[in-house]
Amino acid sequence: MRGSRRLTFVALLIWACGMLVSAVVPWPVIEGGRSALADLDTIGANAKASAATPRILLIGSSPVVLGLSAEEIARATGLPTYNLGVWTALFFFPEYLDRAMEFVRPDDIVILSNPNWLNRQSPILGEGCIGKFSASCTLWRPRPLPDLVEFVKVLSGLWPTDFGVKRDPVGDLVTVRIRNGAETIPTLPYVGRISDGVVADLAQAAARLRKLGACPLLTLGPIFVEPKERDRWLGEQSAAEARVAELGLSASVITDGMVNTDRSLFLDGFEHPAPSERVIWTRRVVERLVSPTQSPCSRSLAKAEHSLNQS
């Protein structure tokens, strides 16, 4: 009996140590997050090297990588545009945003789309866990100790960099390897009222960007939903628009076009736009940006035009 008690104690101790190690392994190294941040650094360095002011910076996760074209936006506005969106950023969005903010200069136009604004029911509980030691971070990280192996890889400089996504120097997508090209892809489930929380987050993000002297343009990415749930989602969209208007953010937030029931507009997941949707979403952003009456960033655009005329 004493032997089995000792063994049980040792097992519990090993388990506790395992959880502890998983808690102190730096979060960015896991789940390829390190590689995503490396992508951000590379494209961000290119943006930093550009002396032109202002610039347009696209910030977000894989939907932004797949769904917005820096080249098209640059062509339409005449401003240098960089797609700083990175794959898997949704898993650690606050940390990613902090890093991306380092590349923002006053008068820049920042187009920001956080996939977690809509995908709130998904178990992205690791969010906000970098450098944080808490019970919830320890328990809910997507992978506990296995990433020790990955951690060793990072220490040795051999972290994986291939997500199957190839990008050009401004961050635009060149090729992507589809992981789940099945005919049927999951839709984003409707889980009840989310608009209040979404709008509060939007307002917070806008305030943060304005504090840096940048002009925010926030956009809710396209999502693929069940046809029978379309009306509920549209109800959420209307509710969000009303709240956005109340807060005086109407010009800075693009909410329309987020709800889609057409499978062909999506690549391999409910928030991964296909090339056809990329054209649509990019056009919607450009239209808002260059609109003489609605653009929230007319000051930045005017300044850009002025400096262009001078040069």
Partner 1 sequence: MAYQENSIEHLARRAPRANWSLLNAAVGKVVLCALGLALLSKMSGVPYAPITLGVSAVFSYGVALAVYRLDAKGVRRVIGRIAVPFGFVAIVALNLSGLVGTLTGADSVRSFASLSLVAAPFYILSMCAVIADLANRRIEMPRMLDYLTYVAFPFKLLAGPLEQPGFIRQIEAWRPNFSWSRLAVAWPWAVLGATMKFVIGDGLSPASTLGATDPISAILTAAIFELRFYFDFAGYSFIGYAGALALGFRITQNFAHPFFAPNVVLFWRRWHMSLGRFLARYLLEPNVGMIRGRLARMIFTSGIFFVSALWHGGTMNYAFWGLFHATCYFLWISRLKRHRWSGTSGVAAMILFFVAGRFLAIEADPHRLLAKLGNLLSPAAWRDDLMNVAARMVEVVGPQAPYLAAATLFFIVEYQSVARYGVGRPYHLFRRPVPAMVLLIIALLFGSTGGGLLYARL
Closest distance between partner 1 and the C-beta of residue 115, in Å? 16
Q: Binding to partner 1 by residue 235, rule CB under 8 A? A: no
Residue 300 neighbours by CB under 8 Å, 6+ apart: 54, 107, 108, 109, 215
Choosing from 161, 180, 204, 276, the residue that interacts with partner 1 (CB under 8 A) is 180
Stretch that binds partner 1, among 37-45, 51-59, 177-185, 237-245 (CB under 8 A): 177-185
Q: Binding to partner 1 by residue 41, rule CB under 8 A? A: no
Rank residues 138 and 250 by Cβ distance to partner 1 and give the closer one. Answer: 138
Rank residues 148 and 290 by Cβ distance to partner 1 and give the closer one. Answer: 148
Q: Residue type at 252?
A: S
Rank residues 48 and 232 by Cβ distance to partner 1 and give the closer one. Answer: 232
Q: Binding to partner 1 by residue 292, rule CB under 8 A? A: no
Closest distance between partner 1 and the C-beta of residue 161, in Å? 19
Instruction: Compute the Cα dihedral for 283, 181, 112, 71 and give only its sign.
Output: negative
Q: Binding to partner 1 by residue 10, rule CB under 8 A? A: yes
Residue 198 neighbours by CB under 8 Å, 6+ apart: 117, 118, 120, 220, 240
Rank residues 250 and 261 by Cβ distance to partner 1 and give the closer one. Answer: 261
Q: Binding to partner 1 by residue 7, rule CB under 8 A? A: yes
Q: Binding to partner 1 by residue 189, rule CB under 8 A? A: yes
Q: Binding to partner 1 by residue 157, rule CB under 8 A? A: no
Q: Binding to partner 1 by residue 151, rule CB under 8 A? A: no
Rank residues 10 and 200 by Cβ distance to partner 1 and give the closer one. Answer: 10
Stretch that binds partner 1, among 8-16, 203-211, 215-223, 238-246 (CB under 8 A): 8-16
Q: Binding to partner 1 by residue 122, rule CB under 8 A? A: yes
Strands 215-219 and 253-254: parallel
Choosing from 162, 183, 310, 311, the residue that interacts with partner 1 (CB under 8 A) is 183
Give residues in contact with partner 1 (CB under 8 A): 1, 4-5, 7-8, 10-12, 14-15, 18, 121-123, 140-146, 148-149, 179-187, 189-192, 226, 228-229
